A and B are shown apart, each in its own frame.
Chain A
């Protein structure tokens, strides 16, 4: 028995090496570059680590690191604003997603099993459909001469100009991430034992009271999973602010993209990425622990 268990771990070898090389190692490169001298050109950037010189090379490398890029980021208020507004966009959008996604997941869980299967399928389908195309579909609706204004004019309301505003970003975030919120919520709500509600009713609890005292508290793991699953990627979202937001919209994902592609300032892009990563480490660890717990509970 023991020998067999030990060998199962070997299955991890290939994916472990692959992820180590293509996922973990690159982050060290990003961290290193963020501490390199700013140069508006292609790499190599100083300092370079010369392994052939051993400890002396390492010392020279460490001495060459400088925090100039980070100092620049903290002194430039544009970066600070981008950082704070990313968090604000993601937090508010997560809240709206909960308000919209919870009733939807709850209603789905109350349908008959065959309807439930079909509805689940209908939530999963947009999840498989291209993110870019779904955001693009919103442009045609939100733009000044778009379908929303055509519809509004038909019922006699004035035109609204939504594209390139913060409102458009919220609509885009909620639209694109709704399946990610509904699926974990539905997963917990569907598993819930209905005798619990019956027991609550027998003990004289009103349906609404039973919801608040039984259903909702039991669904909190799903609320946490859905919120983290939406919040984390939304903080670094690029496509939505870029296509739906205005030129003055500042979000970190867009900042990294602009620094990299437009300004060709690789150290700045790396430093922003590291700052974003540090912000997200805690939510990512929470998410991972939650997933592991859910998996073990499901076993």
Chain B
């Protein structure tokens, strides 16, 4: 059967992708605008990128954000991988329903609720709010995303390989590390990247759980956006988009190449 695209299909693709990408493309273009006025094109310039690197507050925020992201993504990936193993491999254990509920709920739960509840926890524990409270909060939410990513790959993994290793005398724990883990490694890496990006992007949870001295980049961007559109924000946004896009496209190409060599 012919599987060509109808005119309607093409229209749907153009409208859909146009809508998704036009605002981002315009934002990137206008970050190179010489004029301070956002809608008047004053010629090509990289002056906003230069002024970005003079802005100490912004640089501090970037540094905090990266540290939070690195640590929280690492915690999230480890815990998320354990959670995925339990969800895929263990058919039943005490509290399984509650556990899978706790893994899935943060994926859809409004961030305001998560932020508020975590804040109340830190206040009632008497912990001073700052770098570590944001990091723990981000790890909590992003581990659920990590679990889902690893889970999908683990469910497709042929368990007989691991059982073969065990039949050959390999202890279960070691078989997991020597056979299963290398096989699900791409998913674990993707989970880490997703957790890191989510942490990098988060405004709401960070606003609730952060304290003095731990202002993250989204919080800084947000407070400037409230004052109005500024070319400097366009510049920092473009850098972030570029970073994420490079990471995602590189991971995609890497995966394609692996698949090709596997075939």
- CA A13 – CA B93 in complex, angstroms? 11
From B218, B244, B249, A121 is in contact (CB under 8 Å) with: B249
- CA A164 – CA B86 in complex, angstroms? 47
> Is A277 in contact with B113, judged by CB distance below 8 angstroms?
yes
- Chain B residues near A123 (CB, 8 Å)? 20
Report the nearest B residue to A288, measured CB to CB.
B104
Least Cβ–Cβ distance between B146 and chain A, in angstroms = 10
Q: Which of A129-164 contact B (CB under 8 A)?
A: 129-134, 136-141, 143, 145-147, 150
> Is A132 in contact with B222, judged by CB distance below 8 angstroms?
yes
> Is B118 in contact with A284, judged by CB distance below 8 angstroms?
no
- Chain A residues near B9 (CB, 8 Å)? 103, 106-107, 110
Least Cβ–Cβ distance between B219 and chain A, in angstroms = 10
User: In this complex, which of A119, A133, A232, A257 has the most chain B Cβ atoms within 10 angstroms of its Cβ?
Assistant: A133
Main secondary structure of the interface of A (DSSP, over half): helix
Given known contacts A229-B108, A233-B109, is B39 in contact with A147 (CB within 8 Å)?
yes
- CA A129 – CA B237 in complex, angstroms? 10
> Is B201 in contact with A130, judged by CB distance below 8 angstroms?
yes
- Chain A residues near B82 (CB, 8 Å)? 11-15
Given known contacts A27-B117, A137-B26, A236-B113, is B99 in contact with A16 (CB within 8 Å)?
yes
Report the nearest B residue to A139, measured CB to CB.
B229
- CA A9 – CA B156 in complex, angstroms? 19
> Is B155 in contact with A295, judged by CB distance below 8 angstroms?
yes
Check: B185 CB closer than 8 A to any chain A CB: no
Main secondary structure of the interface of B (DSSP, over half): helix
Given known contacts A43-B123, A136-B237, is B172 in contact with A7 (CB within 8 Å)?
yes
- CA A227 – CA B194 in complex, angstroms? 22
Check: B100 CB closer than 8 A to any chain A CB: yes
- The interface stretch among A53-61, A65-73, A175-183, A212-220 is A175-183
Q: Which of A246-299 contact B (CB under 8 A)?
A: 252-253, 256-257, 260-261, 266, 269-270, 273, 276-277, 280, 283-285, 287-288, 291-292, 295, 298-299
- Chain B residues near A117 (CB, 8 Å)? 256
Given known contacts A33-B120, A136-B27, A277-B113, is B245 in contact with A298 (CB within 8 Å)?
no
> Is A12 in contact with B86, judged by CB distance below 8 angstroms?
yes
User: In this complex, which of A23, A287, A292 has the most chain B Cβ atoms within 10 angstroms of its Cβ?
Assistant: A23
Given known contacts A23-B140, A146-B38, is B248 in contact with A124 (CB within 8 Å)?
yes
- CA A261 – CA B219 in complex, angstroms? 14
- Give the interface size bracket for A toward B: 35 or more
> Is A11 in contact with B1, judged by CB distance below 8 angstroms?
no
Q: Which of A34-76 contact B (CB under 8 A)?
A: 42-43
Report the nearest B residue to A19, measured CB to CB.
B102
Least Cβ–Cβ distance between A79 and chain B, in angstroms = 15
Given known contacts A122-B17, A270-B116, A291-B104, is B240 in contact with A133 (CB within 8 Å)?
yes
* Given A125-B244, A136-B27: 20 more A-B contacts, CB < 8 Å: A4-B172, A12-B82, A12-B99, A19-B99, A19-B143, A26-B118, A26-B121, A29-B117, A30-B117, A121-B248, A122-B21, A128-B194, A134-B23, A136-B237, A140-B23, A140-B229, A175-B19, A229-B108, A236-B111, A288-B105
Name A residues whose Cβ lies closer than 8 Å to a Cβ of B.
4-9, 11-16, 18-27, 29-30, 33, 42-43, 100-101, 103-104, 106-108, 110-112, 117, 119, 121-126, 128-134, 136-141, 143, 145-147, 150, 175, 178-179, 182, 194, 197-198, 201, 228-229, 232-233, 235-239, 243, 252-253, 256-257, 260-261, 266, 269-270, 273, 276-277, 280, 283-285, 287-288, 291-292, 295, 298-299
